[in-house]
Amino acid sequence: MGKRITFTPAPLLLSLAAAVLMGWGAARGGLTESTQGRWLLAALVALAYLVFCVLTALKYRRVQREQERLWSGSGAVTAITGGSGSTILLAFASQTGFAEQLALQTAQRLRKGGMAVRMLPLGRVSDQDLLDAGQALFVVSTTGEGDAPDAAAGFARRMALQAQGGALAGLRFGVLALGDRSYERYCAFGHALHAWLRRRHAQPLFDAVEVDNGDEGALRHWQHQLGVLSGHTDDADWSAPAYGRWRLAQRVPLNPGGAGAPAFHLSLTPLDLPAPQWQAGDIAEIGPRNGAEEVRFFMQALSLVGAPLEAQLAGKLLPRDADALTALRGLAPDLLLARLKPLPHREYSIASLPQDGALDLLVRRMQQTDGRPGIGSGWLTLHAREGQEIALRVRSNSGFHAPPDDSPLILIGNGTGLAGLRAHLRARAAAGHGRNWLVFGERSRAHDYFHREEIEAWQAQGVLARLDLAFSRDQVRRVYVQDRLREAASVLREWVEAGDCIYVCGSLQGMAAGVAAALQEILGEETLIALAEQGRYRRDVY
């Protein structure tokens, strides 16, 4: 870090002020009145500039101390307010300082969620650090044509020398890869790090998140993953999306009478023209609103009145615990609104194509820990009325876009994960690409066979060359999509050898992990890693 220079600002500033005044007194007798005025103005400007320099140095020193504290891990454990008490390793590799800045924001975000964080430059991360860490996050830039940042060059050499290395089977990790898509080897160092960790048997918490030139949508997705990791998903977005205005045109139940939480097909149409374009695999970011009952509860607790205030509170994160409400009681409306955080966005896979005339979503109503509906799913499936305006922004999700050719597709998903697969199948049908295999799972055929008529029509038309269904509750032994894959292992290997691509969409917990284990068992770990590197194994999991 270099030698630390410390000073106390108050005596320095007093000395500077005294020097200015003494100079002024000495010069006053020999100068004209106008010259004295100009001299005094110049002296005050110089003093103000010196004060600015000193305050800037102090601010920099505070940031440096925070970095040192995070890098050493000191104080991180004492910051825990909940959770298991284990420390997450956060490593960064920065060329211009942007990756380091994002790593600091990531650390602060995790610690607010009750997690202990140890932050290190990637160049200082040892094998022992990786072995000791149960979970690790990496925020890394790519410089030049696919190179590691200068400070991480030594770590990159270690990666090359330890292509396999010792096993890191106990490590779960995530990678934020920063890059510039104008370069041929986009995010290459981040992808190389991800593959190196996989080859050492570490398990990804989620797929690598690519950020093209600081793309705010991708960074919001990273923040979303941090919320899932910490269990603290109600933090305000780092950058608020510029939402467009859409209308909730239709909401249709998908599983009436089913045993699971209610799921819905939603169709939205744009109010602003021209309508934004998207392609199969892209994401809709929704700006949710509180239901009227939630807003009324908050206003009654604080004895607030007024329709304008009610409308503004609908977009705010409203606390319910007594201490938080007490701290807000008596504030003027403008101060109250400034104190409350905006509701964070929620992400959903788009289930349609622009030429369909509407943006379709498949949304299951989730529950918060206190039994209230989820922030985003509650708004879309319960509180918003058909015909009501919805704030929505389309985000490109290049990691789940279609292959550039007509390569065969194996599409695997469960529940509302059918959304992203449906968009791909509609695109394949429109393009006349018929070698597609859908593996879909839910609870029961009678209640949870989402879009049954459409799927069976695709099968009859030859869009689906193969269809495997897994309804887990329709027999004594539970059957899931990963079981269907194992039953068709030889066919799966044939499709992969023929050049197919594997796309997985659905729940991260349970389905995605089970499918990954089955694919690794059937194809082998090295083949699965190679498919991911070639862009032939892609996931949109949440």
- Domain finish residue from 397, 421, 439: 397
Q: What pLDDT was estimated at residue 78?
A: 29
Give the CATH number of the domain where residue 191 resides: 3.40.50.360
In the predicted model, what is the mean pLDDT of residues 218-241?
A: 84
Q: Is 1 inside any structural domain?
A: no
Q: What pLDDT was estimated at residue 57?
A: 53
Extract long-range pairs of 125-132: CB within 8 Å, 24+ residues apart.
125/89, 125/91, 125/155, 127/165, 127/166, 129/89, 130/89, 130/168, 130/171, 130/202, 131/166, 131/168, 131/170, 131/171
Same structural domain for residues 266 and 376?
Answer: yes
Quick one: 17 exposed, middle or buried, by C-beta within 10 A (0-12, 13-18, 19+)? middle
Inform me whether the pLDDT recorded for 214 exceeds 90.
Answer: no
Q: Which of the pair, 487 or 35, is modelled with greater confidence?
A: 487
Same structural domain for residues 198 and 108?
Answer: yes
Same structural domain for residues 316 and 281?
Answer: no
Q: Is 4 inside any structural domain?
A: no
- Dump pLDDT digits (tens) for 137-195: 999 999 877 888 878 888 988 888 876 666 888 899 999 999 888 677 888 999 999 99
Q: Is 2 inside any structural domain?
A: no
- Dump pLDDT digits (tens) for 410-433: 999 999 999 999 999 999 999 999
Same structural domain for residues 327 and 356?
Answer: no
Sign of CA dihedral 448, 454, 460, 462: negative
Q: Which of the pair, 239 or 200, is modelled with greater confidence?
A: 200
Host domain of residue 324? 298-342
- Domain finish residue from 197, 230, 263: 230
Give the CATH number of the domain where residue 349 resides: 2.40.30.10
Q: Which of the pair, 187 or 470, is modelled with greater confidence?
A: 470
Residue 382 CB partners (closer than 8 Å, separation 6+): 291, 365, 373
Q: How many domains does the chain have?
A: 5
Same structural domain for residues 103 and 151?
Answer: yes
Q: Is 124 inside any structural domain?
A: yes
- Domain finish residue from 70, 86, 103: 70
Q: What pLDDT was estimated at residue 449?
A: 97
Same structural domain for residues 116 and 171?
Answer: yes
SS3 139: strand
Other beta carbons within 10 angstroms of residue 41's beta carbon come to: 10
Inform me whether the pLDDT recorded for 59 exceeds 90.
Answer: no
Q: Is 473 inside any structural domain?
A: yes
At which residue do the structure tokens 């140095």 appear? 57
Share of the chain above pLDDT 90, in %: 56
- Dump pLDDT digits (tens) for 343-376: 988 999 999 999 999 999 999 999 988 889 999 9
Inform me whether the pLDDT recorded for 472 exceeds 90.
Answer: yes
- Dump pLDDT digits (tens) for 502-533: 999 988 777 988 999 999 999 998 898 888 87
Q: Peptide bond before 274: cis, by omega within 30 degrees of 0? A: yes
The answer to whether 400 touches 281, Cβ cutoff 8 Å, is yes
Same structural domain for residues 167 and 313?
Answer: no
Same structural domain for residues 41 and 100?
Answer: no
Q: What pLDDT was estimated at residue 117?
A: 94
Give the Cα separation of 180 and 143 in Å (integer): 9
Same structural domain for residues 319 and 283?
Answer: no
Q: Is 137 inside any structural domain?
A: yes
- Dump pLDDT digits (tens) for 481-496: 999 999 999 999 999 9
In the predicted model, what is the mean pLDDT of residues 439-468?
A: 97
Same structural domain for residues 260 and 372?
Answer: yes
Q: Which of the pair, 490 or 273, is modelled with greater confidence?
A: 490
Selection from 112, 103, 101, 123 nearest residue 76 by Cα: 112
Q: Is 237 inside any structural domain?
A: no
Inform me whether the pLDDT recorded for 61 exceeds 60.
Answer: no
> What letter represents residue 7's amino acid?
F
Element (H, E) at 328: helix 322-328
Q: What pLDDT was estimated at residue 454?
A: 98
Same structural domain for residues 144 and 174?
Answer: yes
CA 266 from centroid of its chain's CA atoms: 23
Same structural domain for residues 181 and 194?
Answer: yes
Q: Is 278 inside any structural domain?
A: yes
